[in-house]
């Protein structure tokens, strides 16, 4: 499950609706909703996100969070290390090889490091 899938599942649970009911209401197939919730599809479109936010009548802050987690939910991430030092490319490849074996605690520690990192330009942080 992706962060977006988890958020959408929680919204459905709170409202007490099935995937089939939600799909009919927002004009998509139940199979598409299932694929999103289970991380089998990439990040949803802006239009889809607006329909979900409208369907659940979420407040502005919750809608912002839904859009944020959608951006972080593509299950097939590509890292472009072209032009970066060799160590960056090696790190990206090692992470790719080992990510499935990392514990939740290890992921949280890495997220903390990323949050605290300062970047030389505004495009990365």
For residues 6-26, give the mean pLDDT: 93
In this predicted structure, what is the pLDDT of residue 125?
Answer: 44
Q: Are 77 and 51 in contact (CB under 8 A)?
A: no
Q: Are 83 and 44 in contact (CB under 8 A)?
A: no
Per-domain residue ranges of the chain: 1-70, 84-114
* pLDDT of 69 higher than 50: yes
For residues 3-31, give the mean pLDDT: 93
pTM of the model: 0.66
Which architecture characterizes domain 1-70 according to CATH?
A: Orthogonal Bundle (1.10)
């Amino acid at each position: 499950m992706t962060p977006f899938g988890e958020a959408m599942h929680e919204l459905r649970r709170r409202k007490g609706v099935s995937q089939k009911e939600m799909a009919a209401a927002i004009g998509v197939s139940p199979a598409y909703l299932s694929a999103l919730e289970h991380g089998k599809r990439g990040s949803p479109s802006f239009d889809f996100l607006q329909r979900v936010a409208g369907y659940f009548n979420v407040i502005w802050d919750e809608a912002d969070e839904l859009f944020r987690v959608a951006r972080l939910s593509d299950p097939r991430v590509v890292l472009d290390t072209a032009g970066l030092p060799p160590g960056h490319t090696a790190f990206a490849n090692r992470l790719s090889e080992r990510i499935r074996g990392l514990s939740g605690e290890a992921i949280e520690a890495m997220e903390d490091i990323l949050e605290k990192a300062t970047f030389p330009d505004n495009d990365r942080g």
